[in-house]
């Protein structure tokens, strides 16, 4: 194991992809600064690790060596403050990779929360749950990816014939956001394997897609492509992938999405160009009558966001969306977690159209729709270090209990009678 690790490290030193890449933490002082940084979003040279926001919080931007001089000049010219968050990204990625290798392999069918699991390990766990808990768990293959991987939804229900309201959750639509599938897996683990949470299944069914972009997720696990975000479909001659979270057909391309196939926020050649977003769309449309809450996990930034992402106008039920988000945040904070910033996407962040949350609400009619941006790794790289996963996912789960209870209470009295 150790020998293999060393040999591998030697190999990748030759082809180091992120050598001398830097990550800058940029601190806009006012609206003008934010607009000036917004202009940089459309370039395919820079990579925004966190989302540009209006509350003057810092934004982390990865810059390749050949762009660093111009980038710094731009910041200085406009008097925008910054600091170097990561001096040489390659070092950070190598370190993360070696740590991943040193953690022993889990047995097939078991899941770990002290490392980031591979796509195969995740699926093996889902199949094991189906075998061990066949009264609670049913797996549904909702289609295959561009590279022909299966996309598996786990349906958790203690009474499938009760026509219960459904909470739908996905994670990992952006490949490199590894904490998102980890979070979603913990939710699955707690709902299925922890009897103390059984009451969360009494009046609600949970349908969960742990890895919404399997091709990208696997690709980001290869050390030279750690920062991969998009799908893996062939777009231009030298550029692969579409930003799946800009690919949904609801004011598609209106704002915050790139038309450049090489950019990290490429919206795709047309709405739902990606088979992965098609599969997710078709499944949500199938369950939309009962689906009452849509949650999509991302990283990073400690944000609980609700629609709209394409406009700063607020949805008609903004009060409910905000109040529920506040209760979720209170529960997370009470469990020892960080405090999340709450708001409609476009009031907190720079606008971005084509997201799954907007589509879930605007088209599928799932009124309660949230994007949760989990904590990031900062100096340790994009994701939090593996030894912090359990702490974070445990804290966030406290918020999931609030969501579950809310849906249960909201629909309890009326739900027993099928609509005519
Ligand atoms: C924004 O801040 C910068 C530097 O702090 C300053 O030079 C500029 O005048 C400010 N712009 C506005 C519109 O306040
Ligand atoms: C978090 O972890 C603690 C300690 O292991 C445990 O007692 C608690 O039930 C967990 N909470 C959740 C919400 O998973
Ligand atoms: Zn994301």
Query: Element (H or E) spanning 70, and its range?
Result: helix 68-77
Which strands, in side-by-side order, build the sheet including 137-144? 137-144, 150-156, 205-209, 166-171, 291-299, 368-374, 303-306, 341-344
251-280 per-position pLDDT tens digit:
999 999 999 999 999 999 999 999 999 999
- Sort strands 22-27 and 81-86 into parallel, antiparallel or unpaired: antiparallel
Q: Catalytic site residue 419?
A: no
- Out of 50, 81, 99, a domain closes at 99
How far, in Å, from the CA of 177 to the mean position of ligand 3? 6
Residue 419 located in a structural domain: no
Residue 12 has pLDDT above 50, yes or no: no
Indicate whether 417 belongs to any domain.
no
CATH number for position 224: 3.40.630.10
Whether the CB of 79 sits within 6 Å of ligand 1 = yes
Q: What is the pLDDT of residues 90-132, one digit of tens each?
A: 999 999 999 888 887 778 888 999 999 999 999 999 999 999 9
Q: Which of 362, 225, 264 is nearest to 306 (CA)?
A: 362
Residue 43 inside a domain? The answer is yes
Range of the domain at 350: 106-411
32 CB near ligand 1 (under 6 Å) = yes
Could you please report the per-residue DSSP string of 139-154?
Answer: EEEEEE-TT-PEEEEE
Encoded tokens for 115:
């490392």
Give the CATH number of the domain where residue 27 resides: 3.30.70.340
- Cα separation of 109 and 128, whole Å? 5
Atom of ligand 2 nearest to the CA of 400: 13
pLDDT (tens digit, 9 = 90+) per residue, 220-257? 999 899 999 999 999 888 899 999 999 999 999 999 99
Q: How far is the CA of 295 from the centre of ligand 2 (A)?
A: 21
Tell me: do 176 and 257 sit in the same domain.
yes
- Does pLDDT of 144 surpass 90? yes
Same-domain pairing of 224 and 314: yes
Position 146 in a domain: yes
Q: Is residue 151 within 8 Å of residue 212, measured between CB atoms?
A: yes
DSSP letter string over 379-398? GG-SSPPGGGHHHHHHHHHH
Q: Are 215 and 145 in contact (CB under 8 A)?
A: yes
35 lines ligand 1 (CB under 6 A): no
pLDDT of residue 191: 98
Q: What is the pLDDT of residues 300-333, one digit of tens each?
A: 999 999 999 999 999 999 999 999 999 999 999 9
| Residue 406 per-residue DSSP state | H
Residue 11's pLDDT band, with cuts at 50, 70 and 90, is: very low
Whole-Å CA distances, 284 to 188, 200, 356, 365, 410: 19, 21, 10, 10, 21
Q: How confident is the model over 350-389, as pLDDT tens digits?
A: 889 999 999 999 999 999 999 999 999 999 999 999 999 9
Indicate whether 10 pLDDT > 60.
Answer: no
Q: Mean pLDDT over residues 295-300, rounded?
A: 98
Backbone torsion region of residue 145, taken as left when φ is above 0, otherwise alpha when ψ lies between -120 and 50, otherwise beta: beta
Chain Cα centroid distance, residue 108: 25
């Amino acid at each position: 194991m150790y020998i293999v690790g060393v040999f591998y490290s030697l190999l990748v030193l030759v082809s180091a992809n992120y050598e001398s890449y830097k990550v800058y933490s940029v601190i806009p002082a006012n609206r003008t600064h934010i607009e000036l940084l917004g202009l940089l979003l459309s370039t395919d040279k820079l990579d925004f690790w966190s989302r540009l926001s209006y509350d003057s919080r810092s934004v982390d931007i990865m810059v390749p060596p050949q762009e660093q001089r111009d980038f710094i000049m731009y910041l200085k010219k406009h008097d925008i403050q910054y600091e170097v968050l990561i001096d040489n990204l390659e070092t950070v990625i190598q370190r993360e990779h070696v740590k991943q290798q040193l953690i022993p392999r889990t047995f097939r069918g078991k899941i770990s929360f002290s490392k980031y699991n591979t796509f195969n390990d995740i699926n093996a766990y889902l199949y094991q749950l189906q075998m061990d808990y066949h009264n609670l768990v049913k797996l549904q293959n909702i289609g295959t990816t561009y590279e022909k991987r299966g996309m598996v939804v786990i349906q958790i229900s203690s009474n499938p014939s009760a026509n219960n309201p459904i909470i739908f959750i996905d994670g990992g639509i952006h490949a490199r956001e590894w904490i998102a599938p980890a979070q979603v897996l913990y939710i699955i683990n707690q709902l299925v394997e922890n009897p103390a949470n059984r009451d969360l299944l009494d009046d609600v069914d949970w349908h969960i897609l742990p890895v919404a972009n399997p091709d990208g997720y696997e690709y980001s696990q290869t050390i030279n492509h750690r920062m991969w975000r998009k799908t893996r479909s062939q777009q231009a001659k030298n550029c692969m992938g579409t930003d799946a979270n800009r690919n949904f057909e609801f004011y598609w391309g209106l704002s915050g999405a790139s038309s450049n196939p090489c950019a990290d926020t490429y919206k795709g050649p047309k709405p739902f160009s990606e088979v992965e977003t098609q599969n997710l769309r078709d499944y949500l449309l199938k369950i939309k009558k009962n689906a009452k809450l849509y949650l999509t996990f991302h990283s990073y930034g400690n944000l609980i966001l609700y629609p709209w992402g394409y406009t700063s106008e607020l949805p008609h039920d903004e009060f409910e969306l905000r109040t529920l988000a506040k209760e979720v945040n209170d529960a997370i904070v009470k469990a020892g977690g960080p405090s999340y910033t709450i708001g409609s996407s476009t009031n907190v962040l720079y606008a971005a159209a084509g997201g799954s949350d907007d589509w879930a609400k605007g088209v599928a009619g799932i009124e309660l729709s949230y994007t949760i941006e989990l904590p990031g790794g900062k100096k340790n790289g994009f994701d939090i270090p593996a030894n912090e996963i359990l702490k974070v996912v445990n804290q966030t789960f406290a918020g999931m209990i609030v969501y579950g209870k809310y849906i249960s209470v909201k629909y309890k009295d009326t739900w027993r009678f099928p609509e005519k």
